[in-house]
């Protein structure tokens, strides 16, 4: 059925529902009809305007502080969806468990239109407040939901097309909702798939931290899915199931209500104590499964947890030999308390590079706190950074706020878009960096702090200094070592880079390969959004691809298909060159492996390639031997 015909059916269903409070199920999805009935039962009227009261800016700030860990753990996926949102004139929405919008990101044009129907931070989008909508209905249904145009309960919301999925923690509790919303005239068929994939990755990351004192079992019917967001995960504390993801429950046909009710022996025929790290399992209903078991470790009271903000789940930008060397040098300098400045165009991965520095530094077990100086007004940046005492200003929290500079104690503070920091705040930051003390707003007391600073900008700070908008003394304090991160178009071996990122995203393990023609087109495209756009596009292609079939140019976005890559195609080596290159490759691999004592990870680093790429080449060599 076409979009126009479907829309007409929904309009007919609305008219019948308005008259009779019932609608033919064949005209509208059952989930939508059930939601309409719930909303009508709450006394809501379809033809009325929803009564919403946005939170005050102070209340919204406090709410965001309460949900900072959720915002951080979702940030890689939200950033990855940014390119999709911009390309489809839509926005990404993150809410808390009630449906209160914490933040929106994406098309500025559509964001302004969305504000007309209060789809903006600080507004509650539960069913009881805003009727049938993807966010609120996903919370009630506890599953991914799409709501198109007139399927929304309230008339004004008919301008929206929304796709949302609830985010569940390891105990099965809803902690938030991720939503992709656009104009009703555009219906991206893959929107819900993108949101579901992003939520899968977020939920998968919940298991990276914590549960150190429990048995953590990863399993799947397909061994290639182990280590991916689609694997099942069960957590056992003294043989009792205390945590699970939805994929694990689905694989065994179970519901979340079994948590704390079932033991390992109730679920699998194997004995937990006899399992190896890599094992084969048999479920209670006879399913054959492949598993990986991580045994509990002893509690170490003096070892603090790693920051929730740190994650390896986000695909890192391409790290060539020069960039790897820069990272190594940056880590040494951060360990010596020397500030590092990252420069590069928007989307080159400055924050991810900063997280790489943190992960490899001596401060890796302390917090990593990131703040975007361009995303907050001056008053909020000051209170966010320095904190404040009770009664410091109108609307201040009764107990005051610690501030990020004290929260990051011992770790790394990442100041993104430092060039947009207001001049008055630059002076205060310089004082903190020099004296290693923080004085909260409204306080006469200074608190000692210990943290390393990594800053980033896409602007030319020397030009800003000449224009009088950036302090020269602060520049010389933060730019003692500068890393220039390359744009995608400046990387000479882009095809190899794309293959490596494709591997990192798990596409190769999922049985999806890029054809040479697709590689050539992707490598020839100019990528104005750099790695943010490239990784977002590769994620989308991987989700939409047919497993086991090569991804051909016809599946690429139109603007990429239109690129003519004669230079790339012309450089593809002839058969005699391939043999010569193959010999050189084999020699390089053997030498690197010999030098590293057979350690594949170290050899891959020496060769400047991804470990999975080296494994693949070793397998190919073995097959051809």
pLDDT tens-digit readout, 589-617: 665 665 566 666 666 666 656 565 665 66
Lowest average pLDDT, out of 255-259, 366-370, 372-376, goes to 372-376
Q: Could you please report the per-residue DSSP string of 414-438?
A: EEETGGGS-HHHHHHHHHHHHH-EE
- Answer yes or no: is pLDDT of 389 > 90: no
Q: How far apart are the C-alpha atoms of 170 and 178, rounded to whole Å?
A: 17
Buried b (16+ CB within 10 A) or exposed e, 354-373: bbbbbbbbebbebbbbbbeb
Lowest average pLDDT, out of 105-114, 167-176, 203-212, 341-350, goes to 203-212
Q: Tell me, what's the pLDDT at 399?
A: 55
Lowest average pLDDT, out of 218-222, 340-344, 532-536, 572-576, goes to 572-576
Lowest average pLDDT, out of 392-406, 438-452, 496-510, goes to 392-406
Q: Which residue has the tokens 């997280």?
A: 355
Q: Tell me, what's the pLDDT at 316?
A: 52
Q: Tell me, what's the pLDDT at 607?
A: 61
Classify domain 492-624 by CATH number.
Answer: 1.10.8.60
Name which residue leads in pLDDT, 492 or 469.
469
- Residue 555 is classified by DSSP as G
Report the pLDDT averaged over residues 535-542: 86
Instruction: For residue range 448-483, list pLDDT tens digits in order.
Output: 889 999 999 999 999 999 999 999 999 999 999 999
Q: How far apart are the C-alpha atoms of 141 and 138, rounded to whole Å?
A: 5
Give bridge partners of residue 342 from the DSSP assignment: 456, 483
Q: How far is Cα of residue 516 from the mean position of the Cα atoms in its chain?
A: 29
Lowest average pLDDT, out of 410-414, 448-452, 513-517, 539-543, goes to 539-543
Q: Tell me, what's the pLDDT at 319?
A: 66
Q: Which of 486, 588, 569 is nearest to 522 (CA)?
A: 569
Name which residue leads in pLDDT, 409 or 506.
409
Q: Tell me, what's the pLDDT at 308?
A: 33
Residue 396 pLDDT class (50, 70, 90 cuts): very low
Q: Tell me, what's the pLDDT at 380?
A: 66
Of 42-51, 268-277, 283-292, 358-367, the range with the highest mean pLDDT is 283-292
Residue 23 pLDDT class (50, 70, 90 cuts): low
Q: Tell me, what's the pLDDT at 432?
A: 87
- Per-chain mean pLDDT for the chain: 82
Report the pLDDT averaged over residues 554-583: 61
- Residue 542 is classified by DSSP as H
**Which superfamily is assigned to 7-205 in CATH?**
GAF domain (3.30.450.40)
Report the pLDDT averaged over residues 182-193: 82
Q: Which of 166, 172, 143 is nearest to 242 (CA)?
A: 172
Reported as type and span, the H/E element at residue 17 is helix 3-20
Instruction: For residue range 262-300, list pLDDT tens digits in order.
Output: 999 999 999 888 888 899 999 999 999 999 999 886 433
Q: Which of 438, 428, 442, 445 is nearest to 389 (CA)?
A: 442
**CB-CB contact of 41 with 275 (8 Å):** no
Q: Give me the residue spans of the domains in the chain.
A: 7-205, 215-294, 321-484, 492-624
The two structure tokens encoding residue 314: 């986000």
- Answer yes or no: is pLDDT of 142 > 90: yes
- Answer yes or no: is pLDDT of 311 > 50: no
Instruction: For residue range 401-438, list pLDDT tens digits in order.
Output: 777 888 888 999 999 999 988 888 888 888 888 888 88
- Answer yes or no: is pLDDT of 62 > 50: yes
Q: Tell me, what's the pLDDT at 577?
A: 43
**Which superfamily is assigned to 321-484 in CATH?**
P-loop containing nucleotide triphosphate hydrolases (3.40.50.300)
Give bridge partners of residue 105 from the DSSP assignment: 92
Instruction: For residue range 66-112, list pLDDT tens digits in order.
Output: 788 888 889 888 988 887 888 888 999 999 999 999 999 988 888 88
Tell me the CA end-to-end span of the chain in Å, nearest whole number: 54
Q: How far apart are the C-alpha atoms of 260 and 236, rounded to whole Å?
A: 9
**CB-CB contact of 291 with 218 (8 Å):** yes
Antiparallel, parallel or unpaired: β 288-294 and 215-220 = antiparallel
């Amino acid at each position: 059925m076409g979009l126009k015909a479907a829309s007409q059916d929904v309009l007919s269903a609305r008219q019948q529902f308005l008259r009779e409070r019932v609608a033919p199920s064949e005209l509208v999805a059952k989930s939508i009809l059930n939601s309409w009935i719930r909303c009508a039962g709450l006394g809501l009227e379809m033809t009325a305007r929803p009564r919403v009261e946005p939170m005050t800016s102070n209340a919204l700030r406090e709410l965001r502080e309460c949900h900072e860990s959720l915002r951080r753990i979702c940030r890689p996926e939200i950033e990855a969806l940014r390119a999709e949102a911009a390309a489809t004139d839509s926005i990404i929405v993150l809410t808390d468990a009630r449906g209160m919008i914490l933040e929106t990101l994406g098309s500025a044009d559509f964001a302004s239109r969305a504000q007309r129907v209060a789809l903006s931070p600080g507004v509650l989008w539960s069913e009881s407040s805003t009727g049938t909508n993807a966010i609120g209905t996903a919370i009630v249904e506890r599953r991914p939901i799409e709501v198109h145009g007139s399927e929304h309960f309230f008339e004004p919301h008919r301008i929206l097309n929304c796709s949302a999925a609830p985010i569940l923690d390891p105990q099965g509790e809803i902690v938030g909702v991720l939503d992709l919303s656009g104009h009703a005239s555009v219906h991206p068929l893959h929107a819900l798939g993108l949101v579901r994939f992003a939520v899968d990755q977020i939920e998968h990351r919940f298991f990276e931290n914590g549960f150190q004192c429990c048995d953590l079992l990863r399993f799947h019917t397909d061994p290639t899915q182990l280590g991916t967001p689609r694997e099942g995960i069960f957590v056992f504390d003294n043989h009792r199931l205390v945590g699970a993801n939805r994929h694990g429950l689905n694989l065994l046909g179970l519901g979340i209500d079994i948590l704390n009710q079932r033991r390992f022996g109730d679920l699998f025929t194997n004995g937990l104590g006899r399992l190896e790290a890599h094992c084969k399992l048999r479920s209670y209903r006879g399913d054959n499964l492949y598993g990986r078991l991580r045994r509990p470790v002893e509690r170490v009271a003096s070892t603090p947890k790693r920051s929730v903000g740190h994650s390896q789940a986000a695909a890192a930008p391409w790290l060539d030999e020069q960039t790897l060397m820069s990272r190594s040098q940056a880590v040494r300098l951060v360990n010596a308390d020397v500030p590092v400045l990252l420069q590069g165009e928007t989307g080159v991965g400055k924050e991810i590079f900063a997280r790489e520095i943190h992960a490899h530094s001596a401060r890796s077990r302390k917090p990593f706190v990131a703040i975007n100086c361009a995303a907050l007004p001056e008053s909020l940046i000051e209170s966010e950074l320095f904190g404040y005492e009770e009664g410091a200003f109108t609307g201040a929290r009764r107990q005051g706020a610690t501030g990020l500079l004290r929260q990051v104690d011992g770790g790394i503070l990442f100041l993104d878009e430092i060039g947009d920091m207001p001049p008055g705040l630059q002076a205060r930051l310089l004082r903190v960096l020099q004296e290693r003390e923080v004085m909260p707003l409204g306080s006469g007391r200074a608190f000692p702090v210990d943290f390393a600073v990594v800053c980033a900008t896409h602007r030319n700070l020397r030009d800003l200094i000449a224009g009088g908008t950036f302090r020269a003394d602060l520049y010389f304090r933060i730019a003692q070592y500068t890393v220039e991160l390359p744009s995608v178009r400046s990387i000479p071996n882009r095809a190899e880079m794309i293959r490596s990122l494709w591997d990192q995203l798990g596409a190769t393990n999922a049985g999806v390969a890029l054809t040479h023609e697709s590689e050539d087109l992707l490598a020839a495209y100019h990528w104005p959004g750099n790695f943010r756009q490239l990784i977002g596009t590769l994620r989308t292609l991987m989700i939409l691809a047919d497993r086991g079939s090569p991804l051909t140019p016809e599946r690429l976005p139109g603007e990429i298909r239109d690129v003519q890559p004669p230079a790339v195609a012309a450089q593809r080596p002839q058969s005699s060159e391939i043999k010569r290159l193959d010999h050189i490759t084999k020699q390089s691999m053997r030498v690197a492996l010999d030098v590293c004592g057979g350690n594949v990870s170290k050899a891959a680093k020496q060769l400047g390639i991804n470990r999975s790429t080296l494994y693949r080449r070793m397998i190919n060599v073995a097959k051809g031997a």
